Amino acid sequence: MKTQEAINTFVKETGGWVAAQLEACTRCGMCAEACHFYQATGNPEYAPVWKLELLRRAYEQRFTISGKARLALGIDKPITDADLTHWSTLLYEACTLCNKCSMVCPMGIDIGPLLHNVRSALSEAEVVPLELMAAVNKQVTEGSPLGVTDSVWDDRMEWVADEWEVELPIDVKGADMLVVFSSIEIMKFPENISAIAKILNKAGEKWTLSRQGREVVNFGFYEGSEKRTKLFMQRVFDAAKALGVKRVLVTECGHAYDALRWTAANIMDVPAGLEVIHIAGLIGDYVRSGRIKLKPGAYDNDGTITFHDACKIQRRGGHIKEPREVLNILAPHAFKEMTPNKEEAICCGGGGGVIAIKAADPQRYAVFQLKIDQMKKVGAKTVAMTCSNCRLQFTDSVKHFNVDVKIAGLSQMVADALED
């Protein structure tokens, strides 16, 4: 194991903003109650502040006098191999990087990004859970964590175009917008592709897909490896540059949006003038500006519809209002909010790569029970969302618990209710 690499990474990533936040923590423990993993299991090790423990130790032992003194006196222990293996289970199998904890920290510590730093160190130490790492490696070699190779992608797109009779422009130079789907959509929710294509075509968007930049998911970002995060984003940016587009549209994937929209500019060169947007925001823009028209009340007669906020698209993406505006048109009477919602929403439990790791299943399902409770309380028959990773977790867990709710992608709902 490469314990020293992990420690070096911690040290490298400790800028003033990391240090200031670590220093601010009063160890009040309030963040525990915000974490759905703690809520669902009561395991004190799932407290966000405890997940940060390694980063705190590395920082204090390297940079602070009291930390050095405590290390010398044996009150604090140096970071060991065993620590890294243990924290790997906490960080990858019991944290979705949803950043809910940051909402409740009385000191306002932005815990999520700090947890991401812990993952980065663990990835340098090569203690990433095997299944997650296998998916990362697959994305490196095949271009997709789910094995969507070039030929699979070609077949799949051809099939979608046939099946739903929709036009899918590929590698069109001079288009305005590059649309990048995730493998999850391509393999598990292909109807999403046709739905988004229909919406874009209806709005008269000049858009294109790209063979080169065909994967929006970023498993390097889940892993926490800056190198691979960049590599996967570079593929998208290269494609955008080659096609000369002005905007990149991230489809129903949350982590990808966080990486491309909110992280890329700080770790690599983003092509000048390129804008990264999300389908949830774009639909909102289209509706507001009248570029697409929706059938009012289209879903008002199928029982209560609720909306699940994805951590990376709503809380950390800022597209909180748009889906609600859309649902208030589509189902003004049937749409009901769960509590808590919006920026305070409870995460689905499958994000951050958790769903890819078998060992995380017990807590992933435990967490989903919180979601089931929420849905039951509003009597939801349908739950809409804007992230296909959430959707994967919902589809799987609803089956696991045998719950009778319909899982719907918002784009799909919009596409099916387009006014001619």
The residues that touch ligand HEM, with contacts defined as CB under 6 A, are 26, 28, 106-107
Residues that bind ligand SF4 (CB under 6 A): 25-31, 34-35, 37, 48-49, 51, 95-101, 105, 107, 109, 111-112, 115, 347
To ligand HEM, the closest distance from the beta carbon of 26 in angstroms equals: 4
Nearer Cβ to ligand HEM, position 28 or 130?
28
Nearer Cβ to ligand SF4, position 37 or 232?
37
**Cβ atoms of 99 and 343 closer than 8 Å:** no
Distance CA 43, CA 54 (A): 18
To ligand SF4, the closest distance from the beta carbon of 28 in angstroms equals: 4
To ligand SF4, the closest distance from the beta carbon of 95 in angstroms equals: 3
Nearer Cβ to ligand HEM, position 72 or 107?
107
To ligand HEM, the closest distance from the beta carbon of 107 in angstroms equals: 5
Nearer Cβ to ligand HEM, position 107 or 130?
107
Locate 113 and state its tokens.
Answer: 């990004």
Other CB atoms within 10 Å distance of the CB of residue 399: 10
Question: Which contiguous run of DSSP H or E holds residue 123?
Answer: helix 111-124
Nearer Cβ to ligand SF4, position 115 or 276?
115
Nearer Cβ to ligand HEM, position 105 or 216?
105
95 binds, among ligand HEM, another protein, ligand SF4, none (CB under 5 to 8 A by kind): ligand SF4
Nearer Cβ to ligand HEM, position 44 or 332?
44
To ligand HEM, the closest distance from the beta carbon of 110 in angstroms equals: 15
**Cβ atoms of 1 and 84 closer than 8 Å:** yes
Three-state secondary structure string covering 168-233: CCECCCCCCEEEECCHHHHHCCHHHHHHHHHHHHHCCCCEEECCCCCCCCCHHHHHCCHHHHHHHH
Locate 81 and state its tokens.
Answer: 């191999």
339 binds, among ligand SF4, ligand HEM, another protein, none (CB under 5 to 8 A by kind): another protein
The 8-class DSSP code of residue 314 comes to I
Centroid of chain to Cα 293: 29
To ligand HEM, the closest distance from the beta carbon of 20 in angstroms equals: 14
Residues that bind another protein (CB under 8 A): 14-17, 19-21, 23-30, 32-34, 38, 42, 44-45, 47, 49-50, 53, 63-66, 70, 75-76, 102-110, 113, 261-266, 314-318, 320, 339-340, 343-344
Distance CA 385, CA 408 (A): 6
Distance CA 368, CA 270 (A): 36
Burial of 74 (0-12, 13-18, 19+ CB in 10 A): exposed
